Chains A and B, each alone.
Chain A
Amino acid sequence: MDPSEREKYQAAIHGDREAFEMIIRVHSRTLFAIGYGILQNREEAEDVVQDSLVKAWKTRWRVRDPEKFPAWLTTIARHKARDVFRKRRAVPLSEQLIEPIEAEPANTSALDQKLHSALAALPELHRTALTLRYFEEMDYRTIENSLGLTNGALRGILGRALTSMRKQLRPALVSMD
């Protein structure tokens, strides 16, 4: 981490609001991707980003090492998203069934729906890695830092995720070919 960045995190930890807002500008999309990866819902993911940032500001003094600030932020976002996910399950099943039909118009093609269901079937970490990669076209290094993974692990995760998607969508792919 370069010194100016480190300084920025340090200032934010000590309560510098401007520095924190700068961090928000840089990282909020990453957090969104994480939230979306878990929840697969844009509104909810945006709420998660908001909540996570407020919580991060309030508990910033817990971070001892400024280097770990980004990883800490993503951890908060993941926890928040999981909380939301758990709560959603408590909502009656019928509502859940009706909603996607309303939210997604029928003309978004069968492929789109299949893709989403295939994504939903992936493990959470795989999904998150995928969203980080495809939303923001993040390079592997940044993803590794955000999720706390090694290069090999990330390669494996992405490879497996893609393969699993490919297998699920094979009929559609064949038809497209």
Chain B
Amino acid sequence: MAAIHDEIDNWLAADLHGELSTNERSALHAHLVDCGACRKTHQEIKLMNKILEETLAQQKPDPAFEQRILAGFRNRVPQRSGLVKLLVDLMRLRATQIAAVAAVLLGLVQIGRMITGEPATAPRERERYVEEQFAAQRSQFSASRAAQSGTLAKSDEVAAGRPGDLALKEPPSPAPAQSKDERQGSAELERTIVTGSNIPTAAEEAAQAPTQEPVPALANRKLIRNATVELEIVSFDNAVQKITAIANEEHGYVATTDSEKQANGKLRGQVVVKVLPENLDRFLQKIRSLGELKNQTLGTEDVTKAYLDTDARLKNAHVMEQRLIDMLKTKTGKVSDLLQVEKELGRVREEIEKMQGELKYWDSQVQFATLTISLAEKDMEEPTAFLLKERAQLALYAPDVEKIYNEIKSLATPKVQVTTAQLNRDYSGRVSAQVSMLVAPEESDGVIGRVKAFGRVENFQTQTQRIAQGGNPAAAGSENARTKRDKVELNIGISREEQEQAFQQTNLRIRTSSVDEKAKELRALAEKQGGRIRSSTFSRDPDGRAVANVSLRVPVKDYPALMQSLDSLGKVENVSVQRQDRTDAQIDEANAPADVSIQVYSQGNIVSQNSGLLATLRRTLAQSAGAIMWSLRMIGVAIAFLAPWAIAIIGVIWIARRVIRAKR
């Protein structure tokens, strides 16, 4: 067995170590019988094994080895005792681990809530919290209400005892005493502005107001009441009479009346009535029956404080005056002092007069309420007359702008006034003119006809406007208004023919072999047909392709002939015609301009210079050079992208290694 012979060492070792199976052992022994060299090796190995067993057995650890190792281990890793051990043991349980994880998660959630500011209370607790809040608010509210109505006797005990009940029992409208206080104290100026549809309700309120408010309470207060009313009535005089009658009834008087006659014969005016304040509301009620109420305001001004102030100051001033007079009477001191005293006396007296006047004014104002009634007769807005204003606009195209411009200007007569006339020449030398004129109505048709004859009319528009005079034009019932025809305003714009937009636009292409020749021919042809060349270009590209663009303008009547003659030049391709029919304007179609754009081109060389072996080679080289440069750039980008990180990682590893080595 060659295998055994080759690996005799392994076999022998395994045999000595008793690791061979029965089959293997018999195979080995069979080989040893055959092979002398292996037998010799066997002897040696056996001896070697014996020596090793003897020698290494000596080096074997002594029996106390394990104990020593254990003692050393216990010494170096002290056993945890008590709580720590318990905790460590607990942590070994799966249930504890899960609980710990759950606790950590909950803790994180709580921290998150704290950070985001979401309330961390459970829903039920939150409800209770809301209830408590609500109750607290309610009691607070009722307490404040109780404190407000301090005049109510038992407020304190009630507020302390049954706050909720009080809040519920308290009537929605404040108690009368409180109301009076509030109205007089806080609302110095009370105003009710009533407009439009909600007047009746306001009227009701106004009617109720005097009966509710106790008059004696007002007696010692200085209140100025005034009101304004706007009424639309049928007849002004009639209304004034009625107002006077009502004023007499209510112990008032008409202070002033003024009226004004409008252009359409209607009257508008103002009546100021003075009535006793307590009668004001009733007065207003009565006045309302006179006509349609447009607007009403009612105001009350409390001047009590100012009045009392002025009164007190007046008394002081009187005392001062008396003292100064006394000073003059004794006549002691220097003359200059006396003069000073007299000067002062004059000032004081002036002040006294002013204050007295003020008080008198207030008294009069308080005594009588002022009611300003604005009256306007119906159909105030009806216009008196109508004016028919006609405006005409004309755009004219002519070969010679200046000539036409002068001719139009010469149309001026007393009945035809030229208001503005201007002739413009812009940087490119184009001339345009603008003329505006006012024409008497009877002359207008004639003038417009003559102007139209001067050139081609492009655009003609007239517009008539009816303008109401002295009133609202939308107002109905204008049958008695007169209608008058005003002067006609005529605006004429004159431009050169070229600027006119083409009536018809044609695009076509002509293919030919000799472009410049044909282009010349084309130009000659166009001139012959009465067309005008507007622009022409010629170009030739490196491939020998030549292109000529010619655009020309002919009158529509010559257009068919031109198109026919074009066929003689070459193959006509891609014809497109665009016609702009203008329905709104009267137009002279035969003379209207038609634009024709013609492109004359040749095919050029079929083979481009950019083909062939050399060109392809050149292109390939250029492209590959480009590709190489591009890849170089990409590599640079990649290096820039990665290098910092690589350097950083290498640095970290280097430092870590140094640290580990230093530790050893």
A24 B66 Cβ-Cβ under 8 A = yes
A57 contacts the other chain (CB 8 A): yes
B519 within 8 A of A: no
Chain A residue nearest in CB terms to B8: A159
Among A1-9, A68-76, A92-100, A161-169, which stretch is in contact with chain B?
A161-169
Q: Are B13 and A24 in contact (CB under 8 A)?
A: no
A46 located at the interface, meaning its Cβ lies under 8 Å from any Cβ of chain B in the complex: yes
Assess whether A134 is in contact with B12, with CB atoms less than 8 Å apart: no
What chain B residues lie within 8 Å of A110 (beta carbons)? none
| B52 and A165 contact, CB distance less than 8 A | yes
Task: Answer whether residue B53 sits at the interface, using C-beta atoms and an 8 A cutoff.
Answer: yes
A21 — which chain B residues lie within 8 A by C-beta? 70, 73
Interface of A is mostly: helix
Q: CB-nearest residue of chain B relative to A173?
A: B47
**What are the interface flags for B37-67 relative to A under an 8 Å C-beta threshold, 1 for contact and 0 otherwise?**
0000101110111011101110111000110
**Complexed CA–CA distance, A133 and B10 (Å):** 14
C-alpha spacing A54/B41, complex, angstroms? 45
**What's the Cα separation between A161 and B53 when bound, in Å?**
14
A:125-141 near B, CB below 8 Å? 130-131, 133-136, 139-140
* Inter-subunit contact B57/A134 (CB<8 Å): yes
- Residues in B whose Cβ lies below 8 Å from that of A140: 14, 17, 19
Among candidates A50, A83, A155, residue contacting B76 with C-beta atoms closer than 8 Å: A50
Q: How many residues of chain A are within 8 Å of chain B by beta carbon?
A: 47
Known: A21-B70, A166-B48, A173-B44. A57 touches B77 (CB 8 A): yes
Q: Mark B17-34, 1 if CB is under 8 A from A, else 0.
A: 101000000000000000
- Per a CB cutoff under 8 Å, which of A16, A46, A136, A158 touches B13? A158
Cβ proximity bits A141-174 to B, threshold 8 Å, 1 near / 0 not: 0000000000000011011111101100110010
> Does residue B650 face the partner (Cβ distance < 8 Å to A)?
no
Asked if A111 is at the interface of the complex by the 8 Å CB criterion, the answer is yes
- B68: CB under 8 A from chain A? yes
Our pick among A46, A111, A130, A160 for the contact of B68 (Cβ within 8 Å) is A46
Nearest A residue to B55 by beta-carbon distance?
A115
Asked whether A38 is an interface residue with its Cβ less than 8 Å from the other chain, the reply is no
Cβ–Cβ < 8 Å partners of A136 in chain B: 60
Name A166's closest neighbour in chain B (CB-CB).
B48
A136 and B79 CA atoms in complex are apart in Å by: 30
The yes or no answer to B386 lying at the interface (CB within 8 A) is: no
Query: 0/1 per residue, B74-110, Cβ < 8 Å to A?
Result: 0011010000000010011000000000000000000
- Among B41, B53, B61, B79, chain A packs the most CB atoms within 10 A around the CB of B61
Could you pull out 17 A-B pairs where Cβ atoms are within 8 angstroms? Answer: A15-B88, A28-B66, A28-B69, A29-B65, A53-B69, A58-B77, A87-B664, A112-B55, A130-B52, A135-B60, A136-B60, A155-B10, A159-B11, A160-B10, A166-B44, A173-B47, A173-B51
Contacts beyond the supplied A15-B92, A160-B9, A176-B47: 6 A-B pairs with Cβ under 8 Å: A15-B91, A17-B79, A21-B73, A57-B73, A135-B59, A135-B61
